[in-house]
């Protein structure tokens, strides 16, 4: 269906279980989203040409709830792991740790308070996106974010957004995070040997 076109495409349930296992074993270090959502009218631009379908679905509002429900409530990871894969490692890979991703002196005091005993239900009728579609439509789970604090200020409480227009701040992300540590010591000759030749297709004349 047009409204669920995304990259990579939605896979069969077994793929999700494999990804969950990889997260629980530490093979995957974090869980994120490239949230890029469109409404049904926008998706319909490609009804006669697949190439014109706007590519992407929602995810940013649902991420913290879904990760808790599928990974913590199910016993696959600990609460500490949850903080690591949703916050700490994300900040580290974007090279903004410990300004973000930690509760420490000098950090930005961005905090969520999640009630593990509260339940949530995902619906396009109640989400905060302007899209009329939600790829997780009907999902019911455990673990609901009840309070969100940004920079020490409560911006979400009692299902109410409390943000002042213009209060957001640009966060500069310096290049070369910890993943680049030691790259100058890499065996260049070995890396070069891994590069397979690329055979280009030649169009018929």
For the CA atoms of 94, 100, 106, 112, what is the dihedral angle to 10 degrees? 180
Residue 64 has pLDDT above 90, yes or no: yes
Q: Summarize pLDDT for 129-188 with one digit per residue, the tens.
A: 999 999 999 999 999 999 999 999 999 999 999 998 898 889 999 998 988 887 776 666
pTM to 2 decimals? 0.85
At residue 196, what are phi and psi to the nearest 5 degrees? Answer: -80, 150
For residues 46 and 61, the answer to whether their CB atoms sit within 8 Å is no
Percent of the chain with pLDDT over 90: 78
Read off the tokens for 178: 């910890």
Percent of the chain with pLDDT over 70: 90
Q: Quickly list DSSP for 16-55.
A: HHHHHHHHHHTSS-----------HHHHGGGTT-GGGSPP
Q: Are strands 111-121 and 140-150 parallel, antiparallel or unpaired?
A: antiparallel
- CA–chain centroid gap for 94, Å, is 13
Fold of 2-193: TIM Barrel (3.20.20)
Residue 196 has pLDDT above 80, yes or no: no
What is the average per-residue pLDDT within 44-57?
94
63: nearest Cα among 38, 87, 98? 87
Question: Confidence class of residue 88 from pLDDT cuts 50, 70 and 90?
Answer: very high
- Domain ranges across the chain: 2-193
Q: What pLDDT score was predicted for residue 66?
A: 97
């Amino acid at each position: 269906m047009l409204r669920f076109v995304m990259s990579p495409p939605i896979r069969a349930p077994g793929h999700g279980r494999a990804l969950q296992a990889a997260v629980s074993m530490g093979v995957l270090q974090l869980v994120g989203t490239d949230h890029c959502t469109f409404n049904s009218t926008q998706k319909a631009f490609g009804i006669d040409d697949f190439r014109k379908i706007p590519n992407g679905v929602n995810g940013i509002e649902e991420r913290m709830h879904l990760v808790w429900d599928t990974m913590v409530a199910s016993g696959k990871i600990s609460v500490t792991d949850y903080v690591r894969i949703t916050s700490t490692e994300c900040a580290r890979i974007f090279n903004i740790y410990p300004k973000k991703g930690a509760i420490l002196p000098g950090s930005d005091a961005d905090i969520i308070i999640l009630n593990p005993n509260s339940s949530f239900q995902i619906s396009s009728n109640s989400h905060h996106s302007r899209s009329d579609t939600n790829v997780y439509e009907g999902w019911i789970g455990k673990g609901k974010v009840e309070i969100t604090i940004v920079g020490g200020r409560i911006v979400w409480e009692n299902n109410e957004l409390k943000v002042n227009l213009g209060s957001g701040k640009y966060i500069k992300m310096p290049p070369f995070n910890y993943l680049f540590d030691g790259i100058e010591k890499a065996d260049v000759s070995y890396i070069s040997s891994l590069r397979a030749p690329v055979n280009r297709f030649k169009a018929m004349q």
